[in-house]
Amino acid sequence: MARRRKKKKSGFEKLTIFMAWLMAIITLAAVVVQALSQIGFFE
């Protein structure tokens, strides 16, 4: 099992991980922006 982890990730795997991170960051940013606009940060 430990040896198999050295196998390079395929392009699809990289893309999936990248998209997951991207979505997580976007969601987090949206929540922060929402919270800041609620307390009148942008006014």
Looking at residues 20-40, what average pLDDT do you find? 94
How far, in whole angstroms, is CA 1 from its chain's centroid? 27
* AA letter at 9: K
Greater confidence (12 vs 40) lies with: 12
Residue with tokens 């976007």: 26
Question: With 90 as the cut, is the pLDDT of residue 6 above it?
Answer: no
Question: With 80 as the cut, is the pLDDT of residue 36 above it?
Answer: yes
HSE-up of residue 18 (Cα within 13 Å, Cβ side): 7
Q: What is the pLDDT of residue 9?
A: 77
Looking at residues 21-42, what average pLDDT do you find? 91
Can you tell me the distance from the alpha carbon of 38 to that of 29, in angstroms, rounded to the nearest whole number?
14
What is the average pLDDT score of the chain?
A: 86
Cβ-based neighbour number of residue 42 at 10 Å:
7
